[in-house]
Structure 1
Amino acid sequence: MSEIALGLSLAGIHGDVASLVAVARRAEQAGYDSVWTGEAWGSDAFTPLAAVAAVTSRLRLGTAIAQMPARTPAMTAMTALTLQQLSEGRFVLGIGASGPQVVEGWHGVPYHPPVPMTREYLAVLRKALAGKERLEFSGSIYQVPYTGPGSTGQGRPLRTTLPGAPDTPILVAALGPKNVAMTVAEADGLLPYLWSPTRWRDAWGDALAKAPDGFQVAPTVLACVGDDLDACRDQVRPRIALHIGGMGSKSKNFYAALVARYGYVDEANRIQDLYLGGDRAGACAAVPDELVDDLALVGPLARIADQLAAWRDGPVTTMIIEPTDLTMVEPIASLW
């Protein structure tokens, strides 16, 4: 499986630095290429990577994802430049738009349409990370220096005081066809969730066909290793049901829309209805085996090795494995 790099999601390890660094060390020793952190409305995505950078020497360190509306583009650039310096160039920046419930309900800022926001955010990031010139940008969402309502008029263009890192890879967590097309045109890679190795063309085939050489595709993939296939499926069903059913409203849920584009229209609607109706157990049970097997790696190692054949036949460059149990870190690495 040398053509696809192996990443490890550190999701679920919060507040315990000993566990965090121990898992990172194990991942490096086991041969993982990278480790990745994310954020919702708890732990942030960047701080844990600083701890990991201090105890590793080879692992790439990625955010999958950091929420754009939570930070100005310049603040994200400052954090990225700091982590590049601390890690000696191992940082990979993954960003995403999040959703209206989190953006407005937690961060307390307006939710902008993802495509224009991401395009402008990337433009400001590129300039700030390059560190070659003073930062100036005028867009419909971001203006640097800011001169709009409430400004003092005293802002002036600045340039970072840290060494520039223009080669920092920037990956975008896009799901909608238009956002993926914009990501292919403007970013260095795509960070999808609930990727289907058999049906991705139905969702994004036209956009990804235009991806340039070197474009990265790094999906986060749920995994559960065990002899009891049904039990393994049941371990990952809650995560799939959460995203399809609960990560958004009935009218706006990017994950439900994605699974529908894969062809699971009725299944997505049923999972959503049950989840939003308060029947989370029913929503989990409504996730069919076929969908679990398509989106996740489940069962005995030999079966997972067979599953990986479908993942080779596509554009994936890194698989960010999110195991249901950290005892699976080494067994999964053995397949590489």
Structure 2
Amino acid sequence: MSVDIHLPVSAQPSVDTLVDLAQRAEELDYGHVWLPETWGRDAVTALTAMAQGTDEVGLGPSIWNVYSRSPALVGQTAATLQEVSDGRFRVGLGPSGPAVVEGWHGSDFDRPLRRTRESIEIIKAVLAGEQVNYDGDVFTLGGFRLRCDPPEDPPGVDAAGMGPKAVELSGRFADGWHATMFTPDGLRERLDDLRRGADLGDRDPEDVRTTLSLTCCALPDGERARDLARQHAAFYVGGMGTYYRDSLARQGYEERAHDIAAAWGSGDKERATELVSDELLDDLGAAGTPERAREELQKFRDVDGLDRVAVSFPRGADLDQVRETMDALAP
């Protein structure tokens, strides 16, 4: 079991700050540093700087959405970042959701699973150095080929997903699956979907790398750490469309998920946060004093079939709290 870092989704003071965090992760022996791409700095530029500022730690986006860049461009970018990082790069992509794709990028959130599958297939063909002639339901390409040498060791192409069919798709077509906001039991259920997808693709499930992004906050003031994690959970369930709410509902928290979303939607964010009970908080992350956070983290590390846990951070955590958490949960 490797422990990774999923850098903060919140805005950081500078690209240099992201580089500093990646360097700190490398010093603490984290296996991989994942960078989210939301509405701040683009991941390509930041990952390039991070690659030039580190030597050994793995790097990748989690995630690039499959709507704002063409798969051919993603393949080119992945090949370039694999070169810049001396073979330490890995692709993380997924459909994201309507709030991001339609609200921020102005694209129709159309056929997300089909688009993800075709993107994976095209990106892998590009990275293999093949001439890409592809006739799909979403994409049609003719004659594309890299004008530079393809990577000697092509980077893996992972896919994110929350629902049964999305996870099955990862098992069938991708090199890995990125999970987020899962309880241990919910994660086990989706891992069954991953294995089914691998079987459909005539693949060994052991060859599909599984990574869980887990909200963590480990501070001497344990209650402050839990408050930050609670606020984070309420925001995602209540404020980020329906995907996180629906995923939580599938994991045995249907009534609570809808209550949180209703409170948030009515503007009562304080009530939405209060509805994230201690039980739910512990089922979704590792927060509290360093000792407690390490104990909660272990519950997820013990899930059979999970290869990596990526320590993620509440959106309200400041840089000092991020660094304290990184230090406390370092492998």
- TM-score when scaled to structure 1? 0.89
CA offset digits 1:47-73 (Å, max 9, x no partner): 211111111110100111111100000
Matches within 5 A, 1:33-112: 33-112=31-110
Distance 1:122 1:6 in 2: 23
SS at match of 2:305: coil
- Per the alignment, residue 161 of structure 1 pairs with 147
Distance 2:186 2:107 in 1: 35
The structure-2 alpha-carbon separation of the partners of 1:10 and 1:84, relative to structure 1 and needing over 3 Å to count, comes to farther
| Count of aligned pairs between the two proteins | 315
- Per the alignment, residue 185 of structure 2 pairs with 198
Distance 2:7 2:17 in 1: 14
Letter in 2 for 1:217: T
Where in structure 1 are there 5+ consecutive unaligned residues? 146-156
SS at match of 2:270: helix
- Per the alignment, residue 235 of structure 1 pairs with 228
The structure-2 alpha-carbon separation of the partners of 1:82 and 1:15, relative to structure 1 and needing over 3 Å to count, comes to farther
Whether the 8 Å contact between 2:191 and 2:305 is mirrored in structure 1 is: no
Higher deviation after alignment, 53-62 or 190-199: 190-199
CA offset digits 1:145-179 (Å, max 9, x no partner): 3xxxxxxxxxxx13101221363111111111111
Whether the 8 Å contact between 2:171 and 2:195 is mirrored in structure 1 is: no
Distance 1:285 1:291 in 2: 11
CA offset digits 1:168-206 (Å, max 9, x no partner): 11111111111110110000111111022233234x143
Distance 1:300 1:69 in 2: 40
Q: Does 1:285 align with 2:274?
A: yes
- Give, in angstroms, the shift of residue 15 of structure 1: 5.2
Distance 2:144 2:303 in 1: 46
Q: Does 1:137 align with 2:124?
A: no
The structure-2 alpha-carbon separation of the partners of 1:304 and 1:77, relative to structure 1 and needing over 3 Å to count, comes to same
Distance 2:208 2:47 in 1: 23
Counting aligned pairs with the same residue, the percent is: 32
Matches within 5 A, 1:1-336: 3-14=1-12, 16-131=14-129, 133-145=130-142, 157-165=143-151, 167-202=154-189, 204-210=190-196, 211=198, 212-248=205-241, 253-311=242-300, 312-323=302-313, 324=317, 325-328=321-324, 329-333=326-330, 336=331
Where in structure 2 are there 5+ consecutive unaligned residues? 199-204
> How well do the aligned residues superpose, as a CA RMSD in angstroms?
1.7
Distance 1:291 1:265 in 2: 12
SS at match of 2:287: strand
Whether the 8 Å contact between 2:5 and 2:34 is mirrored in structure 1 is: yes
SS at match of 1:69: coil
SS at match of 2:115: helix
- TM-score when scaled to structure 2? 0.90
CA offset digits 1:303-328 (Å, max 9, x no partner): 22322332223222121112332222
The structure-2 alpha-carbon separation of the partners of 1:13 and 1:54, relative to structure 1 and needing over 3 Å to count, comes to farther
- Give, in angstroms, the shift of residue 38 of structure 1: 1.1
Whether the 8 Å contact between 1:189 and 1:215 is mirrored in structure 2 is: yes
Distance 2:254 2:33 in 1: 33
Whether the 8 Å contact between 2:238 and 2:245 is mirrored in structure 1 is: yes
The structure-2 alpha-carbon separation of the partners of 1:144 and 1:259, relative to structure 1 and needing over 3 Å to count, comes to same
CA offset digits 1:272-331 (Å, max 9, x no partner): 101111111211111111111111111122222322332223222121112332222222
The structure 1 segments of at least 4 consecutive aligned residues displaced by more than 4 Å after TM superposition are none
Distance 1:236 1:201 in 2: 22
Whether the 8 Å contact between 1:7 and 1:318 is mirrored in structure 2 is: no
Whether the 8 Å contact between 1:24 and 1:35 is mirrored in structure 2 is: yes
